[in-house]
Structure 1
Amino acid sequence: MFTGIIESVGSLRKIERRGDDIRLSVASGKLDLSDVRLGDSIATHGVCLTVVACMNDGYVADISAETVSLTGFSHYQVGDKVNLEKAVTPTTRLGGHMVSGHVDGVARVDDRQYRGKAIEFWLTAPAHLARYIAHKGSITIDGVSLTVNEVSGNRFRLTIVPHTAGETTLVDLKMGDTVNIEVDLIARHLERLMNYDSDKPDVPESTVTMDLLARSGFLR
């Protein structure tokens, strides 16, 4: 589990193709690896990767074909910058939102404009993910926890404040770029819960209704 608060910007040191899979070597930048052990998880551009080798200044991880197909890793090149965050601990401040590191797909940057000192982006998400993106809801972009400020169909607007821009790779995004996105995991599980009885007719019907969600403050 992660929070989407980026700890370091690293870079891709080596990309080794292994059939449909990838073995990745990452230079970790200022990320403190002193407490990282084999098998630990590090979110790399929003993707939860398991450390299979660790050095003082980086780590190695394997990326499965499934992950490659849902993320931008098939297009990344040696030297590309990546946002990094270690998995949370029981004492970690949850400054962002609950992030699993299980990327749902990629979105395209349609527009970039400055508004004051902040950068505003419009992005287009895959149609099948748009229903999980809500006004003032949370979304993860290349591992960064952000608030959705406007939604129009499957397009959504983000505002990147100067601090976030300076501490992540988002400052380098330009029109036409693609980013890894993870939608709010509560929305995904809530949808599954509401539809579970239709998938499994022998399971008792769910007591979660639209009226219950509205009365509980989940719907407006």
Structure 2
Amino acid sequence: MFTGIVEDLGTVVRLDRGTDFARLTVDSPVAVTNRTVIGESIAVNGVCLTVTAVQGTAFTADMMHETLRCSSLGFLRRGDHVDVERAMPAAGRFSGHIVSGHIDGTGLVESITPDGIAKVYTIRAPYELMRFIAQKGSITIEGISLTVTSVTDDTFGVSIIPHTASHTVLAERGIGSIVNIETDPIAKYVDRLLALPSHGGDSDSRASEAITERFLIEHGF
């Protein structure tokens, strides 16, 4: 588990691509010198990866097909910067919010607008992600814990202060950039619980007992 507080701005040293996998090596002095070990979980641009090797100030992790399909990590190149966060210890603090490192998908930076000392990034995302995004709710962009400042049917906004911009990859993300998105995991669990009854049954019976607009109207809501 992570909190979305980026610890280091790492640099891609190597990316070896296979048919349906890739092996990523990242130089991250802050993460590695703080006793990162083989088998440990580490988030790269918000994606939870398992450390398979450590050499000097760099670590290596394998990426399976699902990771490449759901995230933008497969597009990385040598020299690119990445946000790095080690898994939170049991005695750690939630400085951000609950982050699993399981990316839901990607979005597209549609606009970047100055707003006082901050910059507002407007990001376009597909419906399957937007339905879990609420104004003033938490969201993870490129591994960064952020607060949603605005929402439309297919876009949402986040406000970035100078410190966040200068210590993460967001300073290098322009209009048209693809970014990794993880929505609030609590919203996904609630959605799943509401969609299914408390007992089993066939798909028709489950659908009839799901909490829908029709169900609420029939029960006086």
Q: TM-score, normalised by structure 2?
A: 0.89
Task: Tell whether 2:129 aligns with 1:129.
Answer: yes
**Residue 111 of structure 1 aligns with which residue?**
111
For structure 2, list consecutive stretches of 5 or more residues without a partner in the other structure: 213-221
CA distance in 1, matches of 2:30, 2:11: 11
CA RMSD of aligned residues (A): 2.4
Q: How far does residue 198 in structure 1 lie from its aligned partner after superposition?
A: 9.1
SS in structure 1 at match of 2:73 = coil
Task: Tell whether 2:48 aligns with 1:48.
Answer: yes
**Residue 215 of structure 2 aligns with which residue?**
none
Q: How far does residue 56 in structure 1 lie from its aligned partner after superposition?
A: 2.9
**Residue 147 of structure 2 aligns with which residue?**
147
Q: How far does residue 36 in structure 1 lie from its aligned partner after superposition?
A: 1.6
- Where do 1:151-162 residues align within 5 Å? 151-162=151-162
- Where do 1:158-169 residues align within 5 Å? 158-169=158-169
CA distance in 1, matches of 2:137, 2:190: 14
SS in structure 1 at match of 2:196 = helix
Task: Return the letter of the residue paired with 2:131.
Answer: R
For residues 195-219 of structure 1, give each alpha carbon's deviation from its aligned partner in whole angstroms, at most 9, with x where no partner exists.
Answer: 12299427998x9969xxxxxxxxx
**Residue 84 of structure 2 aligns with which residue?**
84
**Residue 218 of structure 2 aligns with which residue?**
none
Kept after mapping to 2: 8 A contact 1:137/1:147: yes
For residues 77-135 of structure 1, give each alpha carbon's deviation from its aligned partner in whole angstroms, at most 9, with x where no partner exists.
Answer: 11111000000002211000000000010000000011112111110011211100000
**Residue 30 of structure 1 aligns with which residue?**
30
SS in structure 2 at match of 1:39 = coil
SS in structure 1 at match of 2:53 = strand
Q: How far does residue 38 in structure 1 lie from its aligned partner after superposition?
A: 1.0
Instruction: Provide the aligned length of Structure 1 versus Structure 2.
Output: 211
**Residue 65 of structure 1 aligns with which residue?**
65
For residues 155-187 of structure 1, give each alpha carbon's deviation from its aligned partner in whole angstroms, at most 9, with x where no partner exists.
Answer: 001100111111111112110001000000000
Point out the more displaced range, 129-138 or 196-205.
Answer: 196-205
SS in structure 1 at match of 2:31 = coil
Larger radius of gyration: 2
Q: How far does residue 58 in structure 1 lie from its aligned partner after superposition?
A: 1.1
CA distance in 1, matches of 2:182, 2:199: 24
Q: How far does residue 147 in structure 1 lie from its aligned partner after superposition?
A: 0.3
CA distance in 2, matches of 1:98, 1:42: 15
Q: How far does residue 64 in structure 1 lie from its aligned partner after superposition?
A: 0.2
**Residue 180 of structure 1 aligns with which residue?**
180
Q: Percent identity at matched positions?
A: 40
Task: Return the letter of the residue paired with 2:163.
Answer: H
For structure 1, list consecutive stretches of 5 or more residues without a partner in the other structure: 211-220
- Structure 1 residue ranges (4+ consecutive) displaced by more than 6 angstroms after TM superposition: 202-205, 207-210
Task: Return the letter of the residue paired with 1:47.
Answer: V
Kept after mapping to 1: 8 A contact 2:197/2:210: no
Task: Tell whether 2:1 aligns with 1:6.
Answer: no
CA distance in 1, matches of 2:91, 2:107: 32
CA distance in 2, matches of 1:159, 1:121: 6
Indicate the structure with greater helix content.
2
